[in-house]
Amino acid sequence: MQNALAAAGYPSRVLVACSGGPDSLALAAIAAYFARRGHVDGHPVTVAGVVVDHQLQAGSSEVADRTAAVLRELGLSPVEVRTVEVAATGFGPEAAARDARHSALDSAADDFGCDAILLGHTLDDQAEQVLLGLARGSGTRSLAGMRPARGRLLRPFLGLRREETLEICDVEELDPWHDPSNADPAFARSRTRVEVMPVLEAKLGPGVAESLARTAAILQQDADFLEELANETYLSLVRREGGDAWLPEDAVRQLPAALRFRVIAKAAADVGGQQPGYGRLQAAEALLRRQGSAGPVELPGHVSVFRLSLSDLEQERPVSYAASAANETGDSPQAGPREAARCGKLVFRHQKPSQQ
């Protein structure tokens, strides 16, 4: 906890998200220790608490109220229960609950003036996240798992095993609530936790969870590097006309595949789309190998991507491509990178959804 707050720049006011389960209750107990001291490494700190009631189980309000009372006894202040409605999003119940929860946490942090939100995810949660990503055929970003810090979200316990949080609760004489959904085979994460991980530990030996978490830490570094490189590449290539974004196809075609797919995904996001899956990215990237104008390929978030060939562009614009680019951007026709873009282009356009 001390290291996490130090790495975050010693936020003066932090918010603990607590469900009442052993992980988040142990987190609250450790945060309360620093709240009672009033400082971390000499830097003043106060700690608030919030319990999110998803209303997905009978008696959830009683569990939330009881957890809030425990947080107040630990010394957290203020402590509130936030009740949320979990709406269907098309991405599954777990994702919908997570979205509703994070929205409530952000709102509570804003209301309390907190610069950091503490979450109780453990090393076991990280290992399960990596396994789920592997099973779904996800890319580097997903396999990198959860980050110790992302924005104002902090996960101080990513290096602790779940059994250690139970030990903390035992030492602090806390009685955690055990969420029955954690053992419900209807949820992929629960099946991973109850059925898959024990088999891996039994067949491959101890240390599987630590190895998976270590894999996530390594991939986080790779993902960060590729993300930064892809962002720089995208900004150097993207051109805009009205609400569209377009990329010179020759330049995109010459990129290594790892960058090419990321640059296409960034273009889709730039015009208001969502992160495309690998199949949709492959379909969009395949436009680079088509003859003449082609498409559109539909991407999530009502984004269409299509290829305009150079011959079609020259028919539309009698002036030279370089002069046209110069007129749109205010650069001179002699500008090197734009002059070199005499080629077809990939155009990304956001389509307004139909009323139906």
What is the spatial distance between Cα 212 and Cα 64, in angstroms, rounded to a whole number?
Answer: 32
Percentage of residues in the chain with pLDDT exceeding 90?
A: 69
- What's the mean pLDDT in 35-60? 93
Give the pLDDT confidence of 301-338 residue by residue, as tens digits: 999 999 988 766 655 554 333 333 434 444 433 333 44
Give the H or E element holding residue 228: helix 208-237
Would the pLDDT of 92 be above 80?
no
pLDDT at 325: 40
What is the spatial distance between Cα 342 and Cα 242, in angstroms, rounded to a whole number?
Answer: 20
pLDDT band, very low/low/confident/very high, at 271 (cuts 50, 70, 90): very high
Residue whose tokens read 């009698």: 318
pLDDT at 313: 62
Most confident range, picked from 119-123, 195-199, 240-244, 350-354: 119-123
- What's the mean pLDDT in 96-114? 93
Say how many C-beta atoms besides its own lie within 10 A of residue 285's C-beta. Answer: 19
Contacts of 161 (CB under 8 A, 6+ apart): 122, 123, 124, 209
pLDDT at 147: 94
Per DSSP, the three-state class of 212 is helix
Contacts of 190 (CB under 8 A, 6+ apart): 181, 182, 183, 184
